Amino acid sequence: MAALGALRSCWAPARLLTGSAHHSNRLVLCQQTSIKRHFSNNKILVELDEATGVAVMKMKNPPVNSLSLDFLTEFSITLEKLEMDRGCRGLILTSASPKIFSAGLDIMEMCGKSAEHYGEFWRAVQEMWLKLYGSNMVTIAAINGSSPAGGCLMALCCDYRIMADNPKYAIGLNETQLGIVAPFWFKDTMSNVVGNRVTEQALQLGQMFPAPEALKFGLVDQLVPEEKVQSTAASVMAQWLTVPDHARQITKSMMRKQTTDKLVNNREADIKNFVSFITRDSIQKSLQVYMERLRQRKQ
Ligand SMILES: CCCCCCCCC/C=C/C(=O)SCCNC(=O)CCNC(=O)[C@H](O)C(C)(C)COP(=O)(O)OP(=O)(O)OC[C@H]1O[C@@H](n2cnc3c(N)ncnc32)[C@H](O)[C@@H]1OP(=O)(O)O
């Protein structure tokens, strides 16, 4: 995979902390060495705190954190690296630039390219989903901005969603608004969180929900002031990490495996289906019109 070479990660100890702890009636002072390891590439910043076992992953793909082939490839490689790191038990996923969590799939990757490119792109989208939805880590989305379509999917893959309390930020699977269709595994991910009836309506209408609306029906779990999103994510993470890993992981797998297996057993057919759908003239036209609308809105 050519993009493998694009990953330029470096591990660098950053900071030492000292901590203290109470033990029954006596105060035990313990010198705790907390090293924060940073490993980043040009699209993803990761800081792993070895004391807590929590990694904060910040998406950094300006201007809108769209999920391009390069971005998705680096995302999956980074996630795999954290997954295999025994010192990492939890992942907080957020955006390096507030206001936009992620604009979803990069529409330019789905316009005017070859069938081969579409196939490669879709495999990378599948890979991201399989890795994030199937992660053994505790995953928390710290949604610090708007999160349409693929951005919403990423948040939905996490175990818990905290969103900035700002009605200007919206989240949802809006695919039909672009004249495209959320595939079955996007649909399943949403309906596993909010239920079939709500998903059925939201997906048909391609609805984007302002943060307060999203909270009402459980698309996100908690709203907090913008400046508290990261700290709240850290404290929720600490609670989740009090549960023994093996028990939580088996439970998570029990809840999600049926959904991931549906794609695992149909990956090639799903790619074929995507390629034949996206190469249709009418779909290409819809995407072009949508991009044009985005540009005009900006003007
Ligand atoms: C049967 C089943 C088979 C399978 C069928 C197929 C299934 C496909 C599933 C698809 C899943 C998806 O995620 S589809 C993607 C859906 N995403 C969206 O609809 C998001 C659209 N974007 C927005 O709403 C907004 O841009 C938003 C993210 C809120 C940010 O608003 P702002 O005002 O801050 O910024 P803007 O000025 O709009 O955008 C800045 C620039 O980024 C570009 N841009 C914005 N979103 C972009 C995007 N997703 N991809 C590329 N480029 C994007 C804009 O065009 C601008 O480009 P310049 O003008 O050049 O600067």
Would the ipTM clear 0.95, i.e. be above it? yes
C-beta of residue 270 within 8 angstroms of C-beta of residue 261? no
Q: Is residue 70 part of a domain?
A: yes
Residue 57 within any structural domain of the chain: yes
pLDDT per position as a tens digit, 63-100? 999 999 999 999 999 999 999 999 999 999 999 998 99
CB-based contact 177:141 (threshold 8 Å): no
CATH number where 181 lies:
3.90.226.10
Residue 21 lies in a domain: no
Ligand 1: residue whose CA is nearest its atom 25? 103
Instruction: Supply the residue whose CA is at minimum distance from atom 19 of ligand 1.
Output: 148
CA angle 116, 65, 298 (to 5 degrees): 100
What per-residue confidence (pLDDT) applies to 33? 62
Q: Which of 150, 151, 172, 206 is catalytic?
A: 150
Is residue 21's pLDDT more than 80? no
pLDDT, tens digit, 9 for 90 and up, residues 187-246: 999 999 999 999 999 999 999 999 999 999 999 999 999 999 999 999 999 999 999 999
The reported pTM is 0.91
Catalytic residue chosen out of the listed positions 109, 120, 127, 175: 175
Per-residue pLDDT, 41: 86
What is d(CA 100, CA 219) in angstroms, rounded to the nearest whole number? 17
Residue 12 lies in a domain: no
Examine residue 271 and state whether it is found in any structural domain, yes or no: yes
Model pLDDT, residue 29? 36
Tokens standing for residue 266:
């149909």
Number of domains into which the chain is organized: 1
Q: With respect to residue 193, please indicate whether it lies within any of the assigned structural domains.
A: yes
Whether 166 is in a domain gets the answer: yes
User: Ligand 1 center to residue 132 CA distance, Å?
Assistant: 21
pLDDT score for 227 = 97
Could you tell me the residue range of the domain that residue 101 belongs to? 2-6+33-298
Ligand 1, residues at Cβ distance < 6 Å: 63-64, 66, 100, 103-108, 146, 148-150, 174-175, 178, 180-181, 183, 273-274, 277-278, 291, 294-295, 298
Q: Is residue 110 part of a domain?
A: yes
